[in-house]
C-alpha cells in the first residue's frame, strides 16, 4: 500500500522531504538524467529525501530526449524511493483509464497528481491498489484564488475537494503558500497523505506544517528548484550545493513537525 511505503521511507530517513525534478536545460550542467541522477543519488545516500517528484511538463518540453530521460530517472529510483509523477491528469472515464495506465504501468510511478474538476468518474480510474492519486486541493500558485477559493456557502471550494479526498481515498496537494494545511488535515482526516509544494523558491511558510505532527510520516513536503539549482547561489558543485540546501530544508521541516 502506498501510505505504508510513504511511512516506512520517512521513518527510515526521518525526513518528509520530496525532491521535485524539474529540468530546465539553461540552468543545468550537462544532460537531464546524469545531472539529476548525481543529485538524487547523493540526497538518498545522505538520507535527506523520502520521495522524488518528476514534473512531466518539464520533460515533455524537451521532446523525446526529455521523455527518455524521465523513463530513465523513474526506472532508476522506483525501487529506491517513492516516485510521484506530477502530471495533473484528469479527464472523462475512459481517458482517465488511459492516463492511469500510462502513469502506473508504463512510467511505473507510485503516485500521480490529478485534477478533480471533472468529478468522481474522472478520478476513479486512478484509484488503484498499491498506488496513490493526489487530488489538487488548494494549490500553491497565486491563481488558486480564481476558482479554488470561491465560496460554496460559507466555505471555499477547495474544502469540498478535501471532503471528497476522505470519501474517495485519495491524497491531496495543498500548497504551503496558503493557510489550508490545517483544514486539509481536519477535513480530509489525519490518514490522508498530503503533498505540499510551495516551500523553497515559492516562499511558503513552514509554520503551517505543525498540523502534520499527529501523523507526519505519510506526508511529503516538496522542494524543487531551490535544491536542484542551489549551486547558482551557493557556488560549488550542483551535488554539494543540493546536499547543503536539502539539509537545511529538512532541519526546518523537522523543527515544526517532530
Helices 238-257 and 32-45 cross at an angle (nearest 10°) of: 50
Q: At what angle do helices 157-168 and 181-188 cross, to 10 degrees?
A: 40
C-alpha cell at 245: 540546501
Q: Which residue has the cell 551535488?
A: 239
Residues labelled as active-site residues: 88
Q: Which residues pair with 19 in a beta bridge?
A: 52, 223
Q: Provide the edge-to-edge strand list for the sheet that holds 84-89.
A: 51-54, 17-21, 220-223, 194-196, 171-174, 132-138, 111-114, 84-89
Amino acid at each position: 500500500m502506498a501510505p505504508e511505503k510513504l511511512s516506512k521511507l520517512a521513518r527510515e530517513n526521518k525526513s518528509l522531504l520530496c525532491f521535485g525534478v524539474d529540468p530546465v536545460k539553461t540552468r543545468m550542467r550537462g544532460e537531464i538524467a546524469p545531472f539529476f541522477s548525481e543529485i538524487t543519488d547523493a540526497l538518498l545516500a545522505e538520507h535527506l529525501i523520502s520521495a522524488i517528484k518528476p514534473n512531466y511538463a518539464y520533460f515533455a518540453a524537451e521532446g523525446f530526449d526529455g521523455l527518455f530521460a524521465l523513463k530513465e530517472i523513474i526506472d532508476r529510483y522506483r525501487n529506491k524511493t517513492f516516485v510521484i509523477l506530477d502530471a495533473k491528469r484528469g479527464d472523462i472515464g475512459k481517458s482517465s483509464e488511459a492516463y492511469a495506465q500510462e502513469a502506473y504501468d508504463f512510467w511505473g510511478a507510485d503516485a500521480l497528481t490529478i485534477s478533480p474538476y471533472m468529478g468522481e468518474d474522472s478520478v476513479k480510474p486512478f484509484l488503484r491498489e498499491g498506488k496513490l492519486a493526489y487530488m489538487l486541493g488548494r494549490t500553491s500558485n497565486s491563481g488558486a484564488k480564481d476558482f479554488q477559493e470561491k465560496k460554496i456557502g460559507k466555505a471555499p471550494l477547495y474544502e469540498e475537494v478535501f471532503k471528497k479526498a476522505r470519501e474517495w481515498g485519495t491524497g491531496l496537494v495543498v500548497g504551503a503558500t496558503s493557510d489550508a494545511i490545517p483544514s486539509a488535515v481536519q477535513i480530509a482526516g489525519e490518514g490522508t497523505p498530503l503533498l505540499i509544494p510551495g516551500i523553497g523558491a515559492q516562499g511558503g511558510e513552514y509554520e503551517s506544517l505543525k498540523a502534520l505532527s499527529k501523523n507526519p510520516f505519510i506526508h511529503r513536503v516538496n522542494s524543487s528548484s531551490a535544491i536542484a539549482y542551489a549551486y547558482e547561489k551557493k557556488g560549488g558543485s550542483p551535488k554539494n550545493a543540493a546536499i547543503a540546501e536539502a539539509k537545511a530544508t529538512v532541519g526546518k521541516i523537522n523543527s515544526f513537525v517532530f
